[in-house]
Amino acid sequence: MQSLESSALEPTKADLAGASLRTRILRFLPVYGLVILTAFLIILFSILLPNTFPTLLNVRSIISDKAIIALLSLGAMIPMAAGRIDLTVGYGIVL
């Protein structure tokens, strides 16, 4: 029986015991990297374009335009957090 094991699971306390700060950051980066990048980009664009980016109209247009993909992405997050692979989400996005 073959099994795929994810290496992007959140590190346990045993994994981080005695690890340096650099090692801890490198262990958390694959797990939380996209969340950190998203927050960084939102802050960056809010600073660079304060009159246009952080507006309610922009948030509404992003939410209404990408609502289906966002829901499918949230659905894909559960198997990913469990360390599994679910390919049915790709079918839903293409459909």
Structure confidence by residue, pLDDT tens digits, 47-66: 999 998 999 998 888 888 87
pLDDT class for 9, splitting at 50, 70, 90? Answer: low
* pLDDT at residue 69 in the model: 78
* pLDDT at residue 2 in the model: 59
- What are the extents of the domains in the chain? 1-51, 55-95
pLDDT class for 78, splitting at 50, 70, 90? Answer: confident
* pLDDT at residue 90 in the model: 72
- The 3-state secondary structure of 39-77 reads HHHHHHHHHHCCCCCCCHHHHHHHHHHCHHHHHHHHHHH
Residue pointed to by tokens 């980016």: 53
Confirm whether pTM is higher than 0.85.
no
Percent of the chain with pLDDT over 70: 85
